[in-house]
Chain A
Amino acid sequence: MELLLFFAVAAAALAVAVWLFIARQGDAEFEFLVDQRTDFKLEELSGNRAVFSCVVPFVNKGTQDGTIMDCFTRHLLPQEQFDAVEAFSRLELESRRRSDGYFEALIVPKTDGNAVIVTVAFAAKQGDIRQALTGMVDMPVEIYFQVVARGKWYVDKQRIVMMADEVAAALKPALAGA
């Protein structure tokens, strides 16, 4: 009986020790620093199309290395709110640019980070894009990211808002030159 009790206590102590070890070890924790993003700037303007981009830094603020397996944007511009343009968005890693919209899985060491370039393109449904963007509304752009680290994989998202004022300001030099 005493032997049984000894093994039970030893097993419990081992379980607590493992739990404490894991708790102390922690895991990766990613944050897109949306408040540190750059303003959207105009990349391209031609006929019925305008392209803007901004840079959003991110950091692994956790205590373990982690992998961003996938990362992509989702823009929210319902036609009920603004129907003059069709919007497209994508992102790419600032340090490893590519034009195919594919996000190559990336290991991010703990406390380290990088940045993504978010690109938003608008195509006018009718006429000139500069005309179409008159009356543009604030448009949320969500950044979805899938993480694999020590624990189970998960998907998280953070949101930036492409402000209508920002779009207007980015277009202003082009309009002045027109």
Chain B
Amino acid sequence: MAIVELVPVKTRILTPQDNIVEAIAAYAGDNIGPDDVVSVAESVVAITQGRIVRPEDMDPCFLARIICRLVPQKGSLSSAYGMQAAMDAEGKWRVTFAMIMGILAKLVGRNGVFYELAGEQAALIDDVTGTMPPFDKHIVYGPDNPNGVAEAIKARFGCHGAAVADVNDLKRAAILGVTAGLNPADLAQILIDNPFGNASQRTPIVVIKNYAQAARELAAG
């Protein structure tokens, strides 16, 4: 019986000057087989796509400065800059509408409506301190076209599949992008213990070894 093994891959700090596929080739290329699935951390994909901004380069609009006040303090959109980033990504009026509907929904006991309506980026934005140095002084957006990134990784390495994942130490795992034929829920379950580790461990790539073989054996009973 093939055993699925998670192999975290240590890298240097990746920057907007890097290409995520080339970085995987440099650090994990020799260790990727045809039965493996390559997963990468979403924030690192976003950084290599240059999807970062410094608060000093932003000028929050009046609405961002007001609406951020309605977000609980721990949220990434609770600062005027985080909120402005969400507005820049998803549209000022969409985010404003989502906030109004979110408040109304809360009044009748329904939570989460703001993030349902505000767009995917609103939930993916990491405010300052949300990422490892030197990006701790940046707001980091979610990745662009994560499915495309996953397909590019698969095409380059000839592996079984690839995924872009958002995982944290609080047992939350979400698959933002995945190659065709893979089940995001299964991958999320495999990555639930956060094999990417914390920022200082610098392991933004995790190779899921023997995934296809294990899946075949499971299907064959």
Contacts and interface: CB of A to CB of B under 8 A. Distances in A.
Given A69-B137, A148-B128, A64 B66 contact: no
B136 to A, nearest CB: 4
20 contacts: A18-B66, A22-B66, A65-B78, A67-B127, A67-B128, A69-B55, A102-B134, A104-B129, A104-B136, A105-B129, A106-B129, A148-B79, A148-B128, A149-B79, A150-B68, A150-B79, A151-B65, A152-B65, A152-B80, A153-B81
Contacts of B81: 148, 153
B73 A65 contact: yes
Contact of B128 (A64, A69, A110, A151): A69
Chain A interface size, under 10 / 10 to 19 / 20 to 34 / 35 or more = 20 to 34
B119 interface: no
Contacts of A149: 79
Interface string A58-94: 0000001101011000000000000000000000000
A162 to B, nearest CB: 28
A1 to B, nearest CB: 28
Interface in B53-80: 55-56, 60, 65-66, 68-69, 73-74, 78-80
B55 A148 contact: yes
Interface string A16-27: 001001100100
B133 interface: yes
Interface of A: 18, 21-22, 25, 64-65, 67, 69-70, 102, 104-107, 110, 148-153
A102 B200 CA distance: 14
Q: Which 6 A-B pairs have the closest CB atoms?
A: A105-B136, A105-B129, A65-B73, A105-B128, A153-B55, A104-B133
Contact of A21 (B69, B79, B128, B134): B69
Max count, chain A CB within 10 A of own CB: residue among B65, B73, B81, B133: B73
A137 to B, nearest CB: 35
Nearest to B56: A153
